[in-house]
Amino acid sequence: MRGIQVAQYVKGPQELKVTDLPDPAPASDEYLIEVHAAATNFFDILQIQGKYQHQPPFPWVSGAEFAGVVLATPSGSKNPKFPVGSRVFGASQGAYATKVKAKETTLLPAPEGWSLVDAAGLFVTAPTSYGALVVRAGVKKGDCVLVHAAAGGVGLAAVQIAKAFGATVIATAGTKHKLEVAKSFGADHVVDYADPKWPEVVKKLTPKGKGVDIVYDPVGLVDLSTKCTAWNGRILIVGFAAGKIEKVAMNKVLLKNISLVGIHWGQYAVHEKETVVAVWQGIMKLIAEGKFKPTVFSDKEFVGLEKIPDALIALGGRETWGKVVVQVPQQEGKSRLETPPTAKLFSSTFRRTLRSSASGLTVAAAATAFKKNTTVQPAELQAITKRNMHSKVVIIGSGPAAHTAAVYLGRAELKPVLYEGFMANGIAAGGQLTTTTEIENFPGFPDGIMGQELMDRMKAQSERFGTTIVSETVAKVDLSARPFKYATEWSPEEYHTADAIILATGASARRLHLPGEEKYWQNGISACAVCDGAVPIFRNKHLVVIGGGDSAAEEAMYLTKYGSHVTVLVRKDKLRASHIMAHRLLNHEKVTVRFNTVGVEVKGDEKGLMSHLVVKDVTTGKEETLEANGLFYAIGHDPATALVKGQLETDADGYVVTKPGTTLTSVEGVFAAGDVQDKRYRQAITSAGTGCMAALDAEKFLSEHEETPAVQGNL
């Protein structure tokens, strides 16, 4: 191959040379990609000078962001997400070459209608801006957003995202041409920040001069931006121009109640993997709707690896706007896959299939859309989003109950539509099992199976039998008349109808959100002793249960089979458990009950596992550190029934009431399955069982009600 190899640090891009190099040798978990376009970044310049925080050992090929075609799949994978010929984009060290190797977790399918040049500049800028504005700042319709350096790569992405969410955008830049570019990408107002009075100008552009609600700052203008930020405003700290760290007058932050919010997108894959999935789903939705377009610099073309130094110099000299991408033509007759049969992937299909993997994050899961069993094709997806779509049966949920129901209904040729949700209840599609690790008590898997893998298999089985799966959250339903009406979160004004509905929205375990909880969740912390108690990390260890009711007593008794000792923390001075359960608990030789005691902080060891729990006596205020290798919450669950509140009968705890021995609810034609109606067992296998029951009940109902009345209701 040909590429730009760095054997020693250089003073600048002008010293970079293109040479002939050996082809990269992919590891067993890596793809080999034919590079068709490579994007430039400021950190590329820092890296070749030895000034970046991540410096590979010499010699290394420079560049990190690319788009191209898959030449070879990982040798160690029996079922690769991206077949040979797939058009992909992503990030991996060595992008400034004709070939690059990359792991599956760093690849995504190129959006429909986008060239590889367009896609090459998407991987870094788009999620950074989306994560900042949507995840961190909560941008919404009516907000006034100030985007600094708005003609830059992340700036143009921010302008488009803010506009897509209904915000008014004020864009700043340093030249007339860049201001025009920002305007062309949707900015409502543009301001030259070379003008010393720009904060005053910005403030005057806001309603009643109150200031902006959100500041998006990738260059280091936080202190000056406080002058034009509204009360309760948020300032997003995205980066610093030339690495200069500014000082901020904190009195202005205090007086205006301003929140300073950082965004380090690269670390989300380490600390919040599920957020990465949600962000890419959101981006692909905007692309599919035409609300986000490529931001590639088009004033001048850079063609060939030899032009990469020129592109980097132009980027470093602030001569460009948007994303500077270099085309990488393949040698005559050498590019085997210029127009692969899978050249385009419908972006809504991408949105539907994107999810996290059992082993961590694999944003590349969307590539399952290439498989033959994928049921939703572009034309079908257009039908799904069409107003007044009618289905015989709709399933709301994404866990074992939902997919079991889908399998049975699909085999009955009822063509079920399953709404798996978009981070519904704060959980990725697949439900609670996506947040756990290995499952050992689900029949058919003698060696255990990861929670995410189990849900992936269930989903694949649903699809096999014709289930249409939609990654949108059902936001409202009208159960007052048949056919029932419902609308989604993304299209609240568009209603669809169904003759029957299966509610399988689940329940979420309550958590205390103690310091250290997120870090050690599933690395010592759980909300289900029956699910996780037998895991090796808990065997013969000191375990803690928090709670004072029957559930806490049952979980503590169960854990005595595995732990060396179990401590139960009860906030009050007595147990809420029944007399018999309290008696058993208090008299068990392996159990200690500590009254008037609460958890304060979770601590861990160098292996990343929980090792201690700081507790506090609520009467004296005294704190103590306990040895604890496991912490189990038994403080209750919250069923996801807000959607049907006031329409279906629920019990005092919010669970849907079903007719004993069935899944029939108080409304004829509506069925409930899984944890949304099960406050006792709450197991994957029992959820699957009730999913089967709901499908059979729904099938019987539909066969008895062939005639569908006219659409009525209140939605």
CB 642: neighbour CB atoms within 10 A? Answer: 11
Distances in whole angstroms, Cα of residue 511 to Cα of each of 273, 605, 655: 19, 22, 18
Cα–Cα distance between 518 and 368 in angstroms, integer?
30
Q: Exposure of 221 by Cβ count < 10 A (0-12 exposed, 13-18 middle, 19+ buried)? A: buried
Q: Is 531 a catalytic residue?
A: yes
Cα–Cα distance between 216 and 420 in angstroms, integer?
32
Distances in whole angstroms, Cα of residue 427 to Cα of each of 142, 271, 363, 491, 520: 27, 15, 16, 20, 17
- How are beta strands 670-672 and 565-570 bridged, if at all? unpaired
- 19-36 burial, b if ≥16 CB within 10 A, otherwise e? eebeebebeeebbbbbbb
Cα–Cα distance between 609 and 628 in angstroms, integer?
10
- How are beta strands 630-633 and 542-546 bridged, if at all? parallel
705 forms beta bridges with: none
CB 534: neighbour CB atoms within 10 A? Answer: 15
Question: CA-based angle 464:686:560, to the nearest 5?
Answer: 130
- Under 8 Å between Cβ of 211 and 140: no
CB 71: neighbour CB atoms within 10 A? Answer: 18
Match 């000299």 to its residue by tokens: 317
CB 42: neighbour CB atoms within 10 A? Answer: 17
- Name the nearest CA neighbour of 269 among 437, 120, 124, 75: 124
- Under 8 Å between Cβ of 119 and 292: no
- Name the nearest CA neighbour of 264 among 83, 444, 135, 438: 135
Phi, psi angles (nearest 5°) of residue 199: -60, -35
Termini Cα distance of the chain:
61
Q: Rounded to 5, what percent of the chain is helix, strand, coil?
A: 30, 25, 45
- Helix, strand or coil, per DSSP, at residue 173: strand
Give me the amino acid identity at 399.
G
- Under 8 Å between Cβ of 163 and 169: yes
The one catalytic residue in 118, 532, 675, 678 is 532
Q: Is 532 a catalytic residue?
A: yes
Tell me which DSSP letter residue 636 carries: -
Alpha helices in 264-338 (DSSP H): 268-271, 273-288, 308-316
The one catalytic residue in 144, 228, 531, 675 is 531
Match 């029944």 to its residue by tokens: 578
Give me the amino acid identity at 387.
R
Q: Exposure of 129 by Cβ count < 10 A (0-12 exposed, 13-18 middle, 19+ buried)? A: buried
The one catalytic residue in 144, 217, 478, 528 is 528
Active centre residues (catalytic): 528, 531-532
